[in-house]
């Protein structure tokens, strides 16, 4: 087993101000998304301008932060540990402590980008296709932030790459799957590489988003089999169905529908100028 290094979640302290690694990872994710979007906009035939990218990232940031935190509080906190809010009314604002829902962030960013598309008179699916490859590196960074925070550990295991983590009750070292790192690679890096390659040329409208939704839903559901569910929720049924798997199901259905529609009734993407 590998001994978990017990990393200090605070990267830098400046008097009363503490800069957390988790917050730094979010900054890295947004900067990476902005840089990648600028590169996409510069591709030959692209209908996007640099100014469009700047506004897109601003709208997406609002959607990710508000949707991710609101989704976490509504899905994972209020139904199961409402006393947490009554004891600490400012808890929903403390995003630096962790506690962000990917599915909430996804819903938030989709809503934000649909509003952005309407404000720019663009097709909403075109905007979502353009944005689909951008979050991958941010997800990678965010999962590394979870690892630094020592949260979202996997189930006990005896595999050679397991991390020895103290049990929160007994303090005994237990080998656990580093599920945060599994997700960093599969949900983050692999998602980015797949969609960045797929979106290099014009694809039917909705297909880039559809592929991203299907990939994420499948790998997230698989990782959930070795990742412990949130303590306040546990398994939803038996000892296998988790909230993450349940929330991934509509993602898979929506993504499969978009891919099937793009295949059976292809419509040209508005992200590239027609020849």
pLDDT in tens, 228-247: 887 777 888 877 888 889 99
Whether 99 has a pLDDT exceeding 90, the answer reads no
Question: Which residue, chain included where needed, has tokens 């996007």?
Answer: 48
What gap in Å lies between CA 218 and CA 82, rounded to an integer? 31
Cβ proximity of 217 and 165 under 8 Å = no
Beta carbons within 8 Å of 211's beta carbon, 6+ residues apart: 132, 194, 195, 198, 255, 259
Give residue 55's pLDDT.
95
242 vs 90, more confident: 242
Three-state DSSP at 96 gives helix
How many angstroms from the chain centroid is the CA of residue 115? 20
For 198, the token pair is: 């797929």
Q: What is the DSSP string of 28-89?
A: HHHHHHHHHHHHHHTSTTB---HHHHHHHHHHHHHHHHHHHHHHHIIIIITTT-THHHHH-T
95 vs 97, more confident: 95
Whether 80 has a pLDDT exceeding 80, the answer reads no
The arithmetic mean of pLDDT across residues 95-104, rounded, is: 77
Whether 17 has a pLDDT exceeding 90, the answer reads no
Give residue 126's pLDDT.
97
For 94, the token pair is: 């403390």
> Which H or E run includes 98?
none
What gap in Å lies between CA 37 and CA 130, rounded to an integer? 8
Give residue 96's pLDDT.
65
The CB density around residue 139, as the number of other CB atoms within 10 Å, is: 22
Q: Which of 127, 137, 126, 154 is nearest to 228 (CA)?
A: 154
- Average pLDDT of the chain is 91
Beta carbons within 8 Å of 18's beta carbon, 6+ residues apart: 10, 12, 96
Question: Which residue, chain included where needed, has tokens 């694809």?
Answer: 203
Q: Which of 228, 137, 230 is nearest to 178 (CA)?
A: 228
Whether 98 has a pLDDT exceeding 70, the answer reads no
Give residue 66's pLDDT.
92
- What percentage of the chain exceeds 90 in pLDDT? 67
Give residue 79's pLDDT.
77
Q: Parallel, antiparallel, or unpaired: how do β-strands 163-166 and 2-3 relate?
A: parallel
The arithmetic mean of pLDDT across residues 111-132, rounded, is: 97
**163-218 confidence digits (pLDDT tens):** 999 887 788 999 999 999 999 999 999 999 999 999 999 999 999 999 999 999 99
Q: What is the pTM of this model?
A: 0.88
223 vs 100, more confident: 223
**41-79 confidence digits (pLDDT tens):** 999 999 999 999 999 999 999 999 999 999 888 888 887
């Amino acid at each position: 087993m590998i001994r978990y290094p017990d990393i200090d979640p605070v990267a830098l302290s400046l008097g009363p101000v503490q800069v957390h690694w988790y917050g730094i990872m979010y900054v890295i994710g947004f900067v990476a998304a902005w840089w990648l979007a600028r590169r996409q906009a510069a591709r030959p035939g692209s209908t996007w301008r640099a100014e469009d990218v700047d506004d897109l990232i601003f709208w997406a940031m609002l959607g990710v932060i508000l949707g991710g935190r609101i989704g976490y509080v509504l899905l994972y906190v209020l139904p199961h540990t409402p006393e947490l809010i009554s004891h600490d009314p400012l808890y929903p604002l403390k995003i630096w402590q962790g506690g962000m829902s990917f599915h909430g962030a996804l819903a938030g960013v989709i809503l934000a980008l649909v509003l952005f598309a309407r404000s720019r008179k663009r097709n909403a699916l075109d905007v979502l296709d353009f944005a689909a490859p951008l979050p991958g590196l941010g997800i990678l960074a965010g999962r590394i932030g979870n690892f630094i925070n020592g949260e979202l550990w996997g189930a006990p295991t005896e595999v050679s790459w397991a991390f020895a983590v103290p049990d929160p009750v007994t303090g005994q070292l237990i080998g656990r799957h580093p599920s945060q790192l599994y997700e960093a690679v599969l949900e983050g890096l692999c998602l980015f590489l797949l969609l960045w390659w797929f979106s290099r040329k014009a694809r039917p409208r909705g297909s880039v988003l559809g592929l991203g939704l299907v990939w994420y839903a499948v790998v997230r559901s698989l990782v959930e089999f070795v990742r412990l569910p949130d303590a306040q929720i546990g398994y939803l049924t038996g000892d296998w169905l988790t909230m993450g798997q349940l929330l991934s199901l509509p993602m898979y259905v929506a993504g499969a529908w978009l891919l099937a529609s793009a295949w059976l009734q292809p419509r040209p993407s508005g992200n590239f100028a027609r020849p």
